[in-house]
């Protein structure tokens, strides 16, 4: 069988071999528990703190502001629920955007059942939140604003710095879910006035099972996991050292290669977008043409189902996605695509192609050759097509 082409880096990435190499001694030789007194434990603790420093560096934070978790979902749950419950004595209002990842959407929905008030900000047709709307939505009861940095589905990058400044001025906590952008776009929590920030390792060539939440020192937050007081009491659990070591190494590599990699991917992405819109009739770009992640392209095609495209591509050896990996098992149209104004039928015709470290130009060329044929064929037998 021919080598598969992977164009679903936004769902997850393969681990970088350099990362894997660094991790391996931590499974069997340096396997200590960071809470142990003996030297094995101390060795682990040291490695943990070094990793913390590396990750803090990447976003200009202090290292004791980094809380390790198991996933971006956990980080986002901690951010929303932890802030909500720590501050509920005085305030009960939280603002999110309408294109957050399900773990924010669902956490907010759950908080609503616990008596919190949630405002979901609209976005424009590119998926952009208007900072003015943030300012208007903030009221005396507002505790927190949470806006995703870059959309996992359509790649739109939000004006985070402007929103951060507004939150700072209004004295409201500001959280951003940077799971997709961390390691791809420069982030500075001070310059951007971010109080909490979610990252993830497996979206940037690190292992699964590691993530972190940046929590600015003065932020009042409560844990959602209680136990042995790891991570300053904010996240009890035995520390997953190998994964965190790998996460930190992945950060180092990303920091070093970010600029050149971004330039390379932007070129590939733009070629992909331009050619698809040109060669496939009735195709449209979802999201913004410039303000988007360098590795994300998302389209909708008239008269076809995204699911059929994905399966057809898979049968041809190309891995792609209809939307986020989390929603592809559902039949519901993506809430992100509906929020940018697509009709359910249009949202069902969407395809996300996300590129990454090992994407080669000839792979993009191959896709550009195959996709128009696939769409054409699907349209010929499409049940939607009106003559």
Q: Does 378 bind another protein (CB under 8 A)?
A: yes
* CA-atom Rg of the chain in angstroms: 21
Q: How far is the CB of 123 from another protein (least distance, A)?
A: 25
Going 63 to 68 to 71 to 75, the CA torsion angle's sign is negative
Sequence-ordered alpha helix ranges (H) in 280-323: 306-315
Residue 178 to residue 350: CA distance in whole angstroms = 23
Helix (H) or strand (E) holding 381: none
Q: Does 195 bind another protein (CB under 8 A)?
A: no
Ramachandran region, residue 344 (left: φ > 0; alpha: ψ -120 to 50; beta: rest):
alpha
Q: Does 315 bind another protein (CB under 8 A)?
A: yes
For another protein, give the closer residue by CB, 37 or 381: 381
Q: Does 17 bind another protein (CB under 8 A)?
A: no
Q: How many Cα atoms within 13 Å fall on the side-chain side of residue 50?
A: 12
Do the beta carbons of residue 199 and residue 178 sit within 8 Å? yes
Q: How far is the CB of 8 from another protein (least distance, A)?
A: 15
| Active-site residue set | 326
For another protein, give the closer residue by CB, 137 or 319: 319
Q: Which stretch binds another protein (CB under 8 A): 89-97, 137-145, 178-186, 312-320?
A: 312-320
Q: What is the dihedral of CA 166, 120, 138, 110, to 10 degrees?
A: -110
Residue 300 to residue 283: CA distance in whole angstroms = 6
Q: What is the dihedral of CA 218, 222, 227, 232, to 10 degrees?
A: -10
Q: x/- binding map, residues 330-359, to another protein, per CB under 8 A?
A: xx----------------------------
Q: How far is the CB of 383 from another protein (least distance, A)?
A: 6
Q: Does 2 bind another protein (CB under 8 A)?
A: no
Q: Does 308 bind another protein (CB under 8 A)?
A: yes
For another protein, give the closer residue by CB, 37 or 329: 329
Q: Does 377 bind another protein (CB under 8 A)?
A: yes
The token pair that represents 304 in the structure block: 């076809």
Q: How far is the CB of 381 from another protein (least distance, A)?
A: 5
Size of the site for another protein (CB under 8 A): 15
Q: Which stretch binds another protein (CB under 8 A): 12-20, 91-99, 207-215, 306-314?
A: 306-314
Task: Look up tokens 């980094």; give the residue.
Answer: 66
Q: How far is the CB of 319 from another protein (least distance, A)?
A: 12
Q: Does 37 bind another protein (CB under 8 A)?
A: no
Cβ neighbours, 10 Å, residue 384: 13
Q: Applying CB under 8 A, which residues contact another protein?
A: 305, 307-308, 311-312, 314-315, 329-331, 377-378, 381-383
């Amino acid at each position: 069988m021919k080598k598969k082409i992977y164009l679903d880096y936004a769902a997850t990435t393969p681990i970088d071999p350099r990362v894997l190499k660094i991790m391996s001694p931590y499974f069997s030789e340096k396997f200590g528990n960071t809470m142990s007194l003996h030297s094995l434990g101390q060795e682990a603790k040291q490695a943990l703190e070094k990793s913390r420093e590396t990750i803090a560096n990447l976003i200009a934070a202090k290292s004791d502001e980094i809380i390790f978790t198991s996933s971006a979902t956990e980080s986002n749950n901690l951010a929303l629920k932890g802030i909500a419950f720590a501050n509920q004595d005085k305030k009960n209002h939280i603002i999110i955007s309408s294109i957050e990842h399900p773990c924010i959407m669902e956490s907010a929905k759950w908080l609503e059942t616990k008596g919190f008030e949630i405002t979901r900000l609209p976005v424009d047709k590119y998926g952009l939140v208007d900072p003015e709307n943030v300012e208007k939505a903030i009221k005396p009861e507002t505790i927190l604003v949470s806006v995703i940095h870059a959309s996992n589905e359509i790649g739109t990058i939000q004006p985070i710095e402007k929103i951060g400044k507004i939150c700072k001025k209004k004295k409201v906590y500001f959280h951003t879910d940077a799971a997709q952008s961390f390691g791809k776009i420069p982030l500075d929590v001070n310059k951007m006035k971010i109080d909490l920030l979610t990252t993830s390792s497996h979206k940037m060539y690190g292992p699964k099972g590691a993530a972190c939440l940046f929590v600015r020192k003065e932020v009042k937050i409560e844990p959602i996991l209680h136990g042995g007081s790891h991570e300053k009491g904010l996240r009890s659990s035995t520390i997953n050292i190998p994964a965190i070591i790998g996460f930190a190494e992945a950060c180092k590599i990303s920091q070093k290669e970010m600029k050149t990699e971004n330039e390379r991917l932007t070129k590939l992405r733009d070629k992909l977008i331009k050619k698809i819109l040109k060669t496939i009739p009735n195709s449209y770009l979802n999201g913004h043409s410039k303000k988007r992640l360098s590795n994300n392209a998302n389209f909708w095609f008239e008269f076809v189902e995204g699911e059929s495209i994905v399966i057809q591509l898979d049968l041809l050896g190309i891995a792609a996605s209809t939307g986020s990996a989390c929603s592809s098992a559902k039949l519901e149209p993506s809430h992100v695509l509906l929020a940018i104004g697509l009709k359910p039928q249009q949202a069902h015709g969407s395809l996300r192609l996300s590129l990454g470290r090992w994407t080669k130009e000839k792979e993009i060329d191959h896709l550009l050759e195959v996709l128009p044929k696939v769409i054409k064929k699907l349209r010929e037998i499409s049940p939607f097509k009106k003559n």
